[in-house]
Amino acid sequence: MKIIGVKFSDSQKLKIDDLAKVLNVSTSQVARAAMKLGLEQITGLSSIAVDLGKDLVIINDARAK
C-alpha cells in the first residue's frame, strides 16, 4: 500500500478514533473504508455530471474542516 499525506480535522480524527474503538479495528481501516466509500460516491455522481461531483467534493471538503 502507498502512504498518502492526508490531513484530518480534529473532529474527523476524533470520529475515526471513536469508531475504530467501537468496532475494534484500526484507525487506518476506518480511514481506508471511509475513503473507499467516499470515492465511490464521488465517482458515481461524477459519472452523471462532472459538475455535480465537483460540487460534492467542494461542499464536503468545506464541511470537513
Residues of the chain falling short of pLDDT 50:
none
pLDDT at 48: 95
pLDDT at 41: 95
Q: Domain ranges in the chain?
A: 10-64
pLDDT at 50: 97
Would you state the torsion angle of the CA atoms of residues 30, 7, 49, 47, taken in this order, to the nearest 10 degrees? -40
pLDDT at 6: 84
CA distance 15 to 10: 9
Whole-prediction pTM: 0.83
